[in-house]
Amino acid sequence: MVLAEVSRRQHRAGGTRTELTQQTRVGETLIRGLVRAQLALAVQLSAVVLVGLGGLPWLFAIAPSVGRMTVLGVNLPWLLLGVLSFPFLVAVGWTYVRLAERNEQDFADLVQRPER
């Protein structure tokens, strides 16, 4: 039963899976491509956080008037850091999970593509 399943899966997946597990040049190139895509995604999204949040202390420091602005009676830095930063972080995280899963799906489709 189990053996049958394994052989069926191997039959379906074809040669690309073997390329990956056997560490051939094609397999290496494939996995390197995936790692690079995932790393690029993570770096891009950290850059978003770096600018969006990391820029704030610098902004408050060079433009003190921004820190004195008030919205609905609350000073802007308090509102940005104390409240809005959290949904912002969750939104970035949500975007990452979606895009990272899409990268993996693309990779899986490539590997499981029926052989000609």
Interface residues toward another protein, by CB under 8 A: 9, 13, 17, 20-21, 23, 27-28, 31, 34-35, 38-39, 42, 45-46, 49, 53-54, 57-58, 60-62, 64, 67-68, 75, 77-78, 81-83, 85-87, 89-90, 92-94, 96-97, 100-101, 104-105, 107-108, 111-112
Determine the longest span between alpha carbons in the chain, in angstroms: 72
8 A C-beta contact, residue 19 and residue 30:
yes
Adjacent-strand bridge partners of 9: none
Task: Give the shortest CB-34-to-another protein separation in angstroms.
Answer: 6
Cβ proximity to another protein: between 4 and 21 the closer is 21
Task: Give the shortest CB-87-to-another protein separation in angstroms.
Answer: 7
The single-letter DSSP state of residue 114 is P
CA dihedral defined by 77, 86, 52, 37, rounded to 10 degrees? Answer: 170
CA–CA gap between residue 86 and residue 47 (Å, rounded): 17
Task: Give the shortest CB-25-to-another protein separation in angstroms.
Answer: 11
